[in-house]
Structure 1
Amino acid sequence: MSDSPAERVLSVGGHDIGYPHGHLGYLTQDEENTLQNFKVFLEEKGLYKSGDKPSHDDQTLLRFLRARKWIIQDAYQQFKDTEEWRKANQLEVLYDTIDVDAYEETRRLYPQWTGRRDRRGIPLYLFQIRNLDSKTVSTYEKNAETTTVSKAKTDGSTPQRLLRLFALYENLTRFAQPLCTEMTDREHPRTPITLSTNIVDVSQVSLRMFWNLKAHMQAASTLATAHYPETLDRIFIIGAPYFFSTVWGWIKRWFDPVTVSKIFVLSPSEVKPTLEKFIEPRNIPKQYGGELDFEFFDRPNLDPNIREQITWENGYTDFPEGPAYWVPVDGGKRLACLAVGSKNGKERRERVCTIPVAFPERQTSTSVVTEAKNVSVATGNGAATATEKDVIVEGVQGLAISGGNPTDVVTEKVSGQALTEEPTAVAAA
């Protein structure tokens, strides 16, 4: 077993066209030109501010460009819709003031960050669908629609249960991804992490349960693909029952072919060897053939390499429950983790720890880095939103099977439980 960064993992079909290509540091000249033109176009539309402290970081803009196949007009429309949606639902206020217990109630229904990363340094999440039984979901949705858990106002059309879900996406983009970005024990340490890898366990789930969850999953996935594009790298579906080809027929129609190609449906014999191609054994939960002590509902079991970089403060020895995000301190040389949200009706602003910034020049060239001791709001999509306390910084997971491009109908020939003859992604025909 090696703890060093592993060999490069090729993208779907064995072609090296996935991460980090299309990301900062690995743009073609055409892609770089498109990014610059996109900034100019957004600035003309009043959606972007350039300068030493740009309103949005480059890695965020690139997510929208990749999602819309580098077509500026299409990326602009999705970006505009997302900005309007975030403003109408006060996503920053939601994340900053959400009740910690309500946040944790939502977190327990959706993918859990294991505290580990895949071989490329991308955060690894685990999702066990069987925990979303109809009674649990019904009780949760009823409570979500009848209980006010934050100071955020909404657009009136986005259900409260989904807004609480998107607090988890905010955690992905503001907490987990920035933390993993600063870890240099990976092949491309200068390239920001903007993705996630997911193990989705569908064992012990009946066809009826899948059917009962259909509307719930589709609503969450549609909004996630629209407003958190390109936050997904891979999904490994494990424990698929014999009828899963029927379920797959519903699910795949929510996504475009690129997203479908990121979904691996594994037979029992494929689980361990396939996961090990993407994830070191020490970071794979034991129930899937690895060495990691991690059960669903557990708090993150932090990677020892991450722990080595952390300087804990104020009595903390681990990350607390509830939302948190990172803010620059020490002139941009370090990032401080702030635990936010509300407990017993009182907002918290607790400094948990600091980590060193691996490449300060990356912060100043692509991110908002204004420093402040009291930070009220950070934006999950990197948008700058100043408050009376001054300033801001850049920044799930919701259903794991989301986060790709906006949906198109795709067709696929499926056969049997595994849906693939080899442990490769299910690709569009």
Structure 2
Amino acid sequence: MSSEKYDDYNFPHTHTDGKVAEGHPGNVTEIQGAQVHQLRAKLEAKGYTARLDTNTLLRYLRARKFDVALAEAMYVKAETWRKENDIWGTEKNLDEIVATWDYPEKSEIFKYYPQYYHKTDKDGRPVYIEQLGKINLTAMGKITSQERMLTNLAVEYERVADPRLPACSRKVGRLLETCCTIMDLKGVGVTTIPSAYGYLKKASSISQDYYPERLGKLYIINAPWGFSTVWSIISGWLDPVTVEKIKVLGGSYSSALLEQIPAENLPVELGGTCKCEGGCPLSDAGPWNETEYLGPFFKSGANASGIKSAAAGAAPAPEATA
């Protein structure tokens, strides 16, 4: 099936800065283009109709080094998870949950484990901040369930794809596919991570298995003594491309963050100047909450399966071309 059926994007959908790596929209070889068509045909033959646009399929292919069979298996696993995952605790699938999700316990949960998107970096990408130092699953379990926490995490990943990244792409006038992440280890002790290991492992697998190629940069700040030694070992197991995106910093991290993130976009507690009313963790400030940058993911307002985008009800954005 032709890609036109799926590629009716309503935001800039190719990279235009001249620095895009091979295999990304805007720099796809003839062979890679054929692999996209091959992957789409295989998935269509299995009855899949959603998330078959070229940019999505390229992410799966990049995650599997353009091995079509491995990319197909990864996609099928993700789609099965979306529909049948036990954590949903409902007959709804993830697409349906996203449309109606409400998480009123967020402000209480964030007292123990802040995880939030906040404005953008100098490249225009969403900034994601995670603070592990206060995590206390026992206390959090009195507020909500791990199932709801994991569901909220999945919903937020969905909102990265739509509306966050499309809104950011509209604002800068070019495709943005990744986020800038800050992982704050301040307060993390010898008992913090082990006590939360089960939950964190599940949360990590959601990111790695179902949302490939979303990491732009990762700053690990307030790394405790000895972490650099551990990291030197761990980094040897990772893809060099991934390692290049990660910086491990101790307590003197402000200058490194400010090289990438404008001071006015970085919360005060992390060395910036931003003081959102009600607190940065709960503000969800960013282009995705600015009407001029919102609009449906696809020009039709829905993809081939009829699933409306998260921003479909928002005011249409100005026509964006790349």
SS at match of 1:233: strand
Hey, what's the Cα distance between the residues in 2 that align with 1:330 and 1:47?
A: 21
Equivalence map 1:336-375=2 (5 Å): 353-359=314-320
Question: Could you give the per-residue CA deviations for residues 169-221 of structure 1, whole angstroms, max 9, x where no partner exists?
Answer: 1222222122212213xxxx332x22111111111222211222222212211
SS at match of 1:126: strand
- Displacement of 1:233 in angstroms is 1.4
Matched, 1:227 2:231: no
Contact preservation (8 Å) 2:166, 2:297: no
2:281 counterpart letter in structure 1: F
Matched, 1:112 2:116: yes
- Equivalent residue, structure 2, for 1:215: 198
Identity across the alignment (%): 27
The unaligned stretches of length 5 or more in structure 1 are: 1-9, 11-15, 49-53, 146-158, 312-325, 340-348, 363-429
Matched, 1:97 2:81: no
The unaligned stretches of length 5 or more in structure 2 are: 1-16, 86-92, 302-307
Matched, 1:174 2:162: yes
- Displacement of 1:40 in angstroms is 2.5
Contact preservation (8 Å) 1:103, 1:167: no
Contact preservation (8 Å) 1:111, 1:125: yes
Cα root mean square deviation, aligned:
3.7
- Equivalent residue, structure 2, for 1:124: 127
Hey, what's the Cα distance between the residues in 2 that align with 1:69 and 1:201?
A: 30
Hey, what's the Cα distance between the residues in 1 that align with 2:206 and 2:309?
A: 28
The partner residue of 1:58 within 54, 57, 82 is 54
Contact preservation (8 Å) 1:238, 1:266: yes
- Equivalent residue, structure 2, for 1:136: 139
Indicate how the Cα distance of structure 1 residues 354 and 243 shifts in structure 2: closer, same or farther if over 3 A, else same. Answer: same
Hey, what's the Cα distance between the residues in 1 that align with 2:282 and 2:224?
A: 25
- Equivalent residue, structure 2, for 1:327: 296
TM-score by length of 2: 0.74
Hey, what's the Cα distance between the residues in 2 that align with 1:38 and 1:60?
A: 11
Hey, what's the Cα distance between the residues in 1 that align with 2:76 and 2:65?
A: 16
Aligned length: 290
Hey, what's the Cα distance between the residues in 1 that align with 2:43 and 2:75?
A: 9
TM-score by length of 1: 0.58
Indicate how the Cα distance of structure 1 residues 112 and 21 shifts in structure 2: closer, same or farther if over 3 A, else same. Answer: farther
The partner residue of 1:300 within 267, 270, 284 is 284
Contact preservation (8 Å) 1:64, 1:79: yes
Indicate how the Cα distance of structure 1 residues 298 and 234 shifts in structure 2: closer, same or farther if over 3 A, else same. Answer: same
Indicate how the Cα distance of structure 1 residues 112 and 55 shifts in structure 2: closer, same or farther if over 3 A, else same. Answer: closer
Indicate how the Cα distance of structure 1 residues 137 and 203 shifts in structure 2: closer, same or farther if over 3 A, else same. Answer: same
Contact preservation (8 Å) 2:32, 2:66: yes
Contact preservation (8 Å) 2:162, 2:297: no
- Displacement of 1:110 in angstroms is 4.5
Question: Could you give the per-residue CA deviations for residues 288-315 of structure 1, whole angstroms, max 9, x where no partner exists?
Answer: 3333335552313346x9848359xxxx
Hey, what's the Cα distance between the residues in 1 that align with 2:238 and 2:127?
A: 21
Contact preservation (8 Å) 1:122, 1:177: yes
Matched, 1:274 2:256: yes
- Displacement of 1:68 in angstroms is 0.6
Contact preservation (8 Å) 2:98, 2:155: yes
Indicate how the Cα distance of structure 1 residues 57 and 34 shifts in structure 2: closer, same or farther if over 3 A, else same. Answer: same
2:196 counterpart letter in structure 1: L
- Equivalent residue, structure 1, for 2:47: 46
- Displacement of 1:81 in angstroms is 0.8
Hey, what's the Cα distance between the residues in 2 that align with 1:338 and 1:160?
A: 19
Question: Could you give the per-residue CA deviations for residues 61-104 of structure 1, whole angstroms, max 9, x where no partner exists?
Answer: 11111111111111000001111111214111222233341566
1:83 counterpart letter in structure 2: E
